[in-house]
């Protein structure tokens, strides 16, 4: 029997607690104008019935299901990457969907330029009433040029559902093991460090679900992971001009960690410790309004948690 021909794209689909959504994700793949793909779905130790939800796709030989112990998105994607056969890898989370021309348009963006290691696109949010229909580019900077320094400074935010050259991805070691948030930022930084360029497709080619329980909704773990990413970047970038940008961003993250820690401590009634943390938050709490608020909370500690809840509610609305 002749060997199966290699597909044009391997689509990596990590899946955890998304049995209710995996059908939408895979149907969006089956609706692609480019049909030459394989999908590698990884059951990341999920407690829901992912296998049952995928039985409807048993007749499509392009779709495979692998299983692994729960290790997070980075570990699940690395597991899928090891099984990928195509020269390009596309990323699709198990609760998101592609627009019909995603694969074709992203492949065209990389084209024949061997220097382009990955392509990113715009996306639209859904699944959260506050964000439904909002474009990623309207809340995150995506105006070119896409350079290492601008990505480090968060002046260009790469949308995560990229299409990547498989040799480039494997050359940088895939996703960093043990990193349970900010794994995409870490990958883009390392690809750009290694000299790969990124292409930008300004069209909306992806639908990005924002669930209330999504990791991106948890602030402190994300900040701690970002701090780890920038610590590693500062070390790797020794002697390069981008190291100064990485250091400056690491300092900003440290201030934001202090701010979030201060909020949490005040809400828990530990007002003194919370105020000390908030004072370490740099420019976040050096405005006249915040100086007045810190003074008021110090004078009347019993009212501090109530004030903090009000302030956080105001920030959420704005």
- pLDDT of residue 295 exceeding 50, the answer is yes
pLDDT tens, residue by residue, 26-70: 999 999 999 999 999 999 999 999 999 999 999 999 999 999 999
When pLDDT is averaged across residues 171-188 and rounded to a whole number, the result is 95
The mean pLDDT of the chain is: 93
- Confidence bin at 307 (pLDDT 50/70/90): confident
Q: Does residue 180 contact residue 74 with C-beta atoms inside 8 Å?
A: yes
Give pLDDT, residue 318. 57
Query: What percentage of the chain reaches a pLDDT higher than 70?
Result: 96
Sorted by where each starts, the structural domains of the chain and their CATH numbers stand as 9-217 (3.90.550.10), 221-317 (no CATH)
What distance in Å separates the CA atoms of residue 193 and residue 172, rounded to the nearest whole number? 10
Query: Within 13 A of 72's CA, how many CA atoms are on the CB side?
Result: 13
Give pLDDT, residue 3. 52
Give pLDDT, residue 284. 86
What distance in Å separates the CA atoms of residue 182 and residue 37, rounded to the nearest whole number? 27
Give pLDDT, residue 117. 98
pLDDT tens, residue by residue, 96-127: 999 999 999 999 999 999 999 999 999 999 98
The DSSP string of the chain is -PPPPPPSEEEEEEESS-TTTHHHHHHHHHT-S---EEEEEEEES-SS-HHHHTGGGTT-TTEEEEEE----HHHHHHHHHHH--SSEEEE--TT-EE-TTHHHHHHHHHTT-TTEEEEEEEEEEESSTTTTT-BHHHHS--PSP--HHHHHTTSS---S--EEEHHHHHHTTSSPTT--SSHHHHHHHHHHHTT-EEEEEEEEEEEEE--TT-GGG-HHHHHHHHHHHHHHHHHHTTTSTHHHHHHHHHHHHHHHHHHHHHHHHHHTT-HHHHHHHHHTSGGGG-SHHHHHHHHHHHH-GGGHHHHHHHHHHHHHH-
Phi, psi of 209 (to 5 degrees): -80, 130
pLDDT tens, residue by residue, 233-284: 999 999 999 999 999 999 999 999 999 999 999 999 999 999 999 999 988 8
- Confidence bin at 213 (pLDDT 50/70/90): low
What is the torsional sign of CA 114, 38, 120, 241?
Answer: negative
Query: Within 13 A of 13's CA, how many CA atoms are on the CB side?
Result: 33
Query: What percentage of the chain reaches a pLDDT higher than 90?
Result: 83
Give pLDDT, residue 212. 59
- Confidence bin at 81 (pLDDT 50/70/90): very high
- pLDDT of residue 209 exceeding 70, the answer is yes
Give pLDDT, residue 137. 96
Give pLDDT, residue 215. 43
- pLDDT of residue 214 exceeding 70, the answer is no
- Confidence bin at 216 (pLDDT 50/70/90): very low
Give pLDDT, residue 113. 95
């Amino acid at each position: 029997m002749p060997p199966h021909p290699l597909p044009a794209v391997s689509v990596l689909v990590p899946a955890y607690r998304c049995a209710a959504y995996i059908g939408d994700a895979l149907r969006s793949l089956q609706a692609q104008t480019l049909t030459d793909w394989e999908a590698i779905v990884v059951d990341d130790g999920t407690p829901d019935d992912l296998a049952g939800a995928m039985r409807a796709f048993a007749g499509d030989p392009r779709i495979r299901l692998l299983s692994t112990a729960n290790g997070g998105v980075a570990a699940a994607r690395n597991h899928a990457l090891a099984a990928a056969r195509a020269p390009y890898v596309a990323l699709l989370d198990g609760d998101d969907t592609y627009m019909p021309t995603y694969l074709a348009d992203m492949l065209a963006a990389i084209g024949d330029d061997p220097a382009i290691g990955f392509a990113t696109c715009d996306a639209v949010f859904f699944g959260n009433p506050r964000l439904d229909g909002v474009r990623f580019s309207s809340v995150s900077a995506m105006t070119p040029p896409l350079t290492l320094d601008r990505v480090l400074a968060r002046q260009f935010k790469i949308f995560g559902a990229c299409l990547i050259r498989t040799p480039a991805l494997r050359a940088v070691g895939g996703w960093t093991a043990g990193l349970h948030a900010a794994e995409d930022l870490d990958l883009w930084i390392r690809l750009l460090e290694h000299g790969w360029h990124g292409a930008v497709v300004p069209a909306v080619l992806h639908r990005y679900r924002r669930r209330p329980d999504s990791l991106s909704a948890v602030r402190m773990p994300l900040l701690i992971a970002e701090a780890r990413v920038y610590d590693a970047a500062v070390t790797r970038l020794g002697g390069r001009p981008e190291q100064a940008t990485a250091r400056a961003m690491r300092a900003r993250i440290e201030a934001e960690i202090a701010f979030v820690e201060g909020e949490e401590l005040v809400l828990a009634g530990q007002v003194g410790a919370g105020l000390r943390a908030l004072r370490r938050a740099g420019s976040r709490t050096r405005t006249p309004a915040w100086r007045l608020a810190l003074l008021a909370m110090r004078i009347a500690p019993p009212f501090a948690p109530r004030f903090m809840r009000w302030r956080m509610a105001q920030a959420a609305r704005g």
